[in-house]
Amino acid sequence: MRGRAIRLSVQRRMVIDLLYFARGVPTVPVQKRMSLAPLVAARAACRDRPPWTAIFTKAYALLAEEVPQLRRAYVKIPWPHLYEVTTSKANIIIERDYRGEPALCPVSIKDPAHQALQDIGRHLQQATTAPLHEIKEFRRWMRFSRLPRPLRRTLWWIGLNVGRQRGNFFGTFGVSVYSALNAESLHPLSPLTTLLNYGVMTDDGLVDVRIIYDHRVMDGATVARALVRLEKILNSVILEEVRSLEK
């Protein structure tokens, strides 16, 4: 059949590189249905509602303070071992239009456990609305994706396998959701140790929450217990902060 060849754009090359390394990670999803009705009601009462992405990101970072496995990574330099960091860094993926084509824009949030929900929300809002040339992470990844493939892949591998630098370049956990589009991904791929993913919130506050984890770093029972604790954090510490925003 006749057709046409379409050259890979820099944004598609970035996704291809990400998937190249993600496919080497033995990830497994664990899901829990959570009941967040009080949190849904408290958020609805806020004049300036914090985004759900900000809420889940901070809750997960608080969880990682309690569960050290969520701050660990499997790295290979100088030999295969686990490396544990003291502070979490979220890598949140948002979609932007770049030169007429959808592009993934990574947004980094340093130490979200100790940031206010409103500050995290403002950071995400800026990343969603600011001109792309003003977003440091996006500029960096676009420059990186223009490098020749052998050099890109080498730098990716080094960045993912040097424990002290991995978190700086890629973050310690990822967040990727489509719930605003009334859809959800069951097993998104990522080269990170964990990726947080949640579905569409029902009217009575039920939502499916998933942690996709690297089985080399931890086991499923650890993740299952972490999800139980995450629900408690959302319905306690996070709930109290959201209620304070009602005033």
pLDDT at 101 over 80: yes
Q: What is the H or E stretch that residue 27 is in? A: strand 27-35
pLDDT, average across residues 92-105? 89
pLDDT at position 67, please?
98
pLDDT at position 247, please?
66
pLDDT tens per residue across span 122-160? 999 999 999 888 888 888 888 889 999 999 999 999 999
pLDDT tens per residue across span 202-220? 989 999 999 999 999 999 9
Instruction: Assess if residue 10 is contained within a domain.
Output: no
- 81-84 vs 72-75, strand pairing mode: antiparallel
pLDDT tens per residue across span 35-87? 999 999 999 999 899 999 999 999 999 999 999 999 999 999 999 999 999 99
Strand-pair partners of 209: 32, 198
pLDDT at position 103, please?
86
pLDDT at position 181, please?
84
Instruction: Assess if residue 14 is contained within a domain.
Output: no
Regarding predicted confidence, which is higher, 34 or 246? 34
Contact 73, 247 (CB under 8 A): no
Residue 227 makes CB contacts below 8 A (sequence gap 6+) with 30, 31, 32, 34, 209, 211
pLDDT at position 237, please?
98
Q: What is the mean pLDDT of the chain?
A: 94
Q: Which of 175, 238, 237, 181 shows the shortest CA–CA distance to 210?
A: 175
Contact 93, 106 (CB under 8 A): yes
Instruction: Assess if residue 19 is contained within a domain.
Output: no
pLDDT, average across residues 222-234? 98
Strand-pair partners of 224: none
One DSSP character per residue, 135-161 reads: -HHHHHHHHHHTS-HHHHHHHHHHHHH
Q: Which residue intervals of 23-176 are DSSP H helices? A: 37-44, 52-66, 117-129, 136-145, 149-161, 163-170
Domain span at 198:
27-244
pLDDT at position 231, please?
98
pLDDT at position 105, please?
86
User: Residue 12 and residue 102: Cα distance in Å, rounded?
Assistant: 9
Most confident of 45-49, 109-113, 179-183, 200-204: 109-113
Work out the burial of residue 165: count CB atoms within 10 Å of its CB; fewer than 13 is exposed, 13-18 middle, 19 or more buried.
Answer: middle
Strand-pair partners of 92: 107, 175
- The letter for the amino acid at 183 is A
Domain tally for the chain? Answer: 1
Instruction: Assess if residue 21 is contained within a domain.
Output: no
Instruction: Assess if residue 78 is contained within a domain.
Output: yes
pLDDT at position 182, please?
87
User: Residue 158 and residue 163: Cα distance in Å, rounded?
Assistant: 10
Instruction: Assess if residue 190 is contained within a domain.
Output: yes
CATH number of the CATH domain containing 99: 3.30.559.10
The pTM of this model reads: 0.95
Instruction: Assess if residue 13 is contained within a domain.
Output: no
Instruction: Assess if residue 237 is contained within a domain.
Output: yes
- Six token digits for residue 122: 């403002």
User: Residue 221 and residue 41: Cα distance in Å, rounded?
Assistant: 31
